[in-house]
Amino acid sequence: MQKTFKNEKILFAEPLFQCDGLAGFTRSELYENAIHRTLRINQLKKEHNWTQEDFDIAIRCLNYEVGFVIHLSMFIPAIERLATDDQKAKWLPLAESYRILGTYAQTELGHGTNLMALETTATFDPRTDEFVLRTPQLSSMKWWPGSLGKTATHAIVLAQLIIGNKNYGMNPFMVQLRSLEDHMPLPGIIVGDIGAKLGANSNDNGFLILNDVRIPRENMLARNSKVTKDGRYIQTSTNKANYATMVLVRLSIIRWAEDTIKNGSLIAIRYSAVRRQSSLQAGGPEMQVLDYQTQQYKIFPSLAASYALFFTYEAMMKEYEIAYAQIMRGNNQLLGQIHGQLSGLKAFASDLVTYELEMCRRSCGGHGYLKASVVGETLLHTLPLVTVEGDNTVMYLQCARYLLKQIAKALAGQDVDEPTSYLKKDILSYTCPVQKGEHCTNPNYLLKIYTQRAHSAIASVARQLQFDLESGKDQSSAFNNNLVSLVQAAKAHCQLCLMKNFVESVSALERTCSENLASVLRQLCLYFGLHGIVTASGEFLESEAIGLQQLEWIKAEELKSLAAIRPNAVALVDAFDLHDQTVMSALGRYDGNAYQHLFEAAKREPMNQTQVPPAYYKYLRDLIKGQPLAKL
Ligand SMILES: CCCCCCCCCCCCCCC/C=C/C(=O)SCCNC(=O)CCNC(=O)[C@H](O)C(C)(C)COP(=O)(O)OP(=O)(O)OC[C@H]1O[C@@H](n2cnc3c(N)ncnc32)[C@H](O)[C@@H]1OP(=O)(O)O
Ligand SMILES: Cc1cc2nc3c(=O)[nH]c(=O)nc-3n(C[C@H](O)[C@H](O)[C@H](O)COP(=O)(O)OP(=O)(O)OC[C@H]3O[C@@H](n4cnc5c(N)ncnc54)[C@H](O)[C@@H]3O)c2cc1C
């Protein structure tokens, strides 16, 4: 599935990219190693004439265990999206050659979600033609930005623009943080690392206090709005255009989610094919645990999710490219659509994979709790995806807000955006397409069920909101009264998007691939659809997209499809084409020698580098020999 990286051999021939040692690294070592890696990949890029795409794939091959993640994923894209052509000409070459190292400093100690409430100010001083940046109190300090702690020389700081006594809202400013001579913080800047996290500890997420730091007027990123020398504010685009970098990263999160769940399902499936435990027949040979229906039930959702997210990322990438090209030409028509779609899908993708990764970890039994299994470590790295770039609940609510607008248009007989075109249908004329058991094997029928459920969830919450407003509730309490249903409606829409992308991508592939391959993919797609209905059966029933009889058929078909997928499960994860050095798991090796690799990992454990531990001489010796213990 991943485009085969022709340079994989070159990459993994380097000791630096042989990852077995990382488990014992301290934070400082992880941090240093990550920077070392990015610089070496850059050298390899030059030495072997790699394209930017090759470079990006190299980073994926290393599971993003590299430095400068925010520099590459946010700082440079923010300059591209928020700066004028002159500003780009000045900063992009410096950033692209790592002569300046950047971060995206938006979140504060007191506020991450509510951007309107950010407290950092950039006050225009017309006497000196400068902005004065200030974080006025404890809660205003920037807190979380990646690479801010120890690395960044520059930050794109999001601050409230103040001219005279008027606040013109959040705008982006380029602020130099550290000297380019000796890396010391510049006057007025207090900066540091926020401390160890549950995962992703090679990244120095940081804090930043700005005490009246002066920057030239030209350092306001002015593609969407600017301040003239005489202090006039000129806005050339919607103020939401300054949120463009977040939209891009939300798209990337779908890809990161896909990458992590591919790792998890690969480890769980390969290991379950190796692991034997018990038997269903008295005295019979021990079974591969992958043959237990319960094990398949635990792991195959992550296999199906890997493919569903792959197809969804590909589809969303195309949608994004069209929207981005328009936006860069000054046409914001698709801004609302792409924001609504990506807010929801970012949340759905990260929710899905964090849940399924834990199932993968459990499916590896006790060994899944070992660091060497890597599946737990992957989960810890992935957990922040539900929070970064907008907490998932808040992102679902953004998606729901978009869906409400679309349904209002549909009800008024106006055109709606293509991804919500189903809202134009007559919801009451629906008849469930599954009228007998065998109908459940048709993914297009399942798609109709998903469509009806999403339509019904959106229509129902829209009606309830309308009712609350008409009963005298004000706008905000009517909204608060319906938040849970709004989130459910957004989830229903996102689940439909995944199913639709899966069905459509498999149909497209059917035209070019062998019938054998097509039938395997069709089976997985079918399973994805059946499983999604069963896990949210209450909502599908409530929406009357299915009845109890259909649920019974769908449940039976879901179980049948587990057995149908089983023979191809290992091949389906092998098809990810992930190198052992990418997956790094003792349990999930291609050669299937899980026990041998676990033992090798144990032998490398730093605790095992001496036979007798120092604690023996300090405590155990006297204890064992019955000597009186020294005062402890
Ligand atoms: C094995 C492989 C492993 C790989 C794993 C790798 C994992 C690595 C893990 C580490 C992660 C590292 C990278 C993380 C980087 C993270 C960076 C960040 O987190 S940066 C900070 C991000 N912050 C946010 O996302 C803040 C969230 N809040 C918001 O976006 C907004 O405040 C809001 C959308 C919640 C509300 O907007 P606001 O303007 O404050 O409110 P209004 O009500 O006035 O506006 C709503 C209005 O605006 C429209 N809108 C909102 N956003 C956008 C947008 N982006 N584009 C277009 N339009 C937008 C919205 O639709 C509403 O429109 P309306 O017409 O009024 O309905
Ligand atoms: C690993 C990591 C890396 C990060 N990197 C960066 C970075 O590089 N740059 C940067 O600027 N930031 C970064 N962040 C910050 C991140 O963007 C924020 O943490 C995120 O946007 C959530 O905001 P918050 O922490 O303020 O959560 P809060 O908004 O305080 O959320 C707390 C709870 O309140 C709920 N809630 C909040 N508002 C609402 C609402 N309106 N309606 C309903 N419920 C609500 C949420 O659902 C959540 O349950 C990073 C964070 C992490 C964890």
Strands, sheet with 142-143, edge to edge from the N-terminal-most edge strand: 142-143, 206-210, 189-193
Q: In this predicted complex, what is the ipTM?
A: 0.97
Residue 266: predicted pLDDT: 98
Residue after which a domain boundary falls, among 535, 554, 572: 572
Residues 232, 277, single domain; the answer is no
Check pocket membership of 247 for ligand 1, CB cut-off 6 A. Answer: yes
Same domain, residue pair 206 and 306: no
Residue nearest to atom 59 of ligand 1 (CA): 240
Which atom of ligand 2 is least distant from the CA of 107? 11
Q: Do both 557 and 450 map to the same domain?
A: yes
Q: Are residues 313 and 437 in the same domain?
A: yes
Indicate whether 146 and 219 sit together in one domain.
yes
Taking the centre of ligand 1 as the mean of its atom positions, its distance from the CA of residue 552, in whole angstroms, is 40
Q: Cα separation of 582 and 8, whole Å?
A: 10
∠ CA(601), CA(13), CA(62), 5° rounding?
70
- Residue-wise pLDDT tens digits, 454-506: 999 999 999 999 999 999 999 999 999 999 999 999 999 999 999 999 999 99
Q: Which residues are annotated as a binding site?
A: 107, 146
Query: Of 174, 209, 236, at which residue does a domain stop?
Result: 236
Which pLDDT score is estimated for 2?
45
- Whether residue 252 has its Cβ less than 6 Å from ligand 1: no
Question: Which of these, 16, 34, 3, lies nearest to 581 by C-alpha position?
Answer: 16
Residue 104 Cα, ligand 2 centroid: separation in angstroms? 14
Q: pLDDT at position 464, please?
A: 98
3-state secondary structure 487-548: HHHHHHHHHHHHHHHHHHHHHHHHCCCCHHHHHHHHHHHHHHHHHHHHHCHHHHHHCCCCCH
Same domain for 172 and 63?
A: no
Name the closest ligand to CA 200.
1
183/221 same-domain check: yes
Q: Could you tell me if residue 623 is inside a domain? A: no
pTM, two decimal places: 0.97
Domain's final residue, options 203, 236, 269:
236
589's torsion region: left (phi>0), alpha (psi -120 to 50) or beta? beta
Q: Which ligand is nearest to the CA of 264?
A: 1
The closest alpha carbon to 175, from 253, 265, 100, 264, belongs to: 100
Taken as a whole, the chain contains a residue count of: 632
**Paired tokens of 152:** 């960044």
- Residues belonging to the active site: 389
d(CA 309, CA 312): 5
Residue 610 lies in a domain: no
Tell whether ligand 2 has an atom less than 6 A from the beta carbon of residue 388.
Answer: yes
Q: Which domain holds residue 426?
A: 245-572
Domain identity same for 443 and 488 = yes
Tell whether ligand 2 has an atom less than 6 A from the beta carbon of residue 443. no
pLDDT of residue 5: 61
State in Å: Cα 389 to ligand 1 middle.
Answer: 5
CA angle in degrees (0–180, nearest 5) for 219-221-227: 75
Asked if 401 and 492 sit in the same domain, the reply is yes
Question: From ligand 1's centre to the CA of 48, what distance in Å?
Answer: 38
Give me the CATH number covering residue 190: 2.40.110.10
Nearest ligand by distance to the CA of 194? 2
The answer to whether position 609 is within a domain reads no
Q: Has residue 580 been placed in a domain?
A: no
Do 249 and 232 share a domain, yes or no? no
Closest-CA residue, ligand 2 atom 48, reads 391
Whose C-alpha lies nearest to ligand 1, atom 15? 388
Decide if 613 is inside a domain.
Answer: no
CATH of the domain at 383: 1.20.140.10
- If asked whether residues 549 and 416 sit together in one domain, one would say yes
Under-70 pLDDT residues of the chain? 1-5, 19-23
Q: Do the strands 206-210 and 189-193 form a parallel or antiparallel pair, or are they unpaired?
A: antiparallel
Asked if 154 contacts 102 with a C-beta cutoff of 8 angstroms, the reply is yes
Q: State whether the beta carbon of 387 lies less than 6 angstroms from ligand 2.
A: yes
* The predicted structure's pLDDT at residue 185: 98
Regarding whether 568 and 515 lie in a shared domain, the answer is: yes
Distance, in Å, from the CA atom of 171 to the CA atom of 239, rounded to the nearest integer, reads 8
| Count of the separate structural domains present in the chain | 3
Residue whose pair of structure tokens reads 């213990």 in the numeric block: 629
C-beta atoms surrounding 78 within 10 Å: 27
Nearest CA to ligand 2 atom 23: 112
Return the SS3 of 328.
helix
Residues 227-243 have pLDDT tens digits of 999 999 999 998 899 99
The verdict on the CB of residue 264 being under 6 Å from ligand 1 is: no
Ligand 2 pocket check for 332: Cβ under 6 Å: no
Q: Is residue 295 part of a domain?
A: yes
| Residue 180, domain member (yes or no) | yes
95 within a domain of the structure (yes/no): no
Tell me the CA–centroid distance for residue 246 and ligand 1, in Å. Answer: 5
Binding-site residues for FAD, in ranges, read: 107, 146
Contact between 559 and 530 under an 8 Å Cβ cutoff? The reply is no
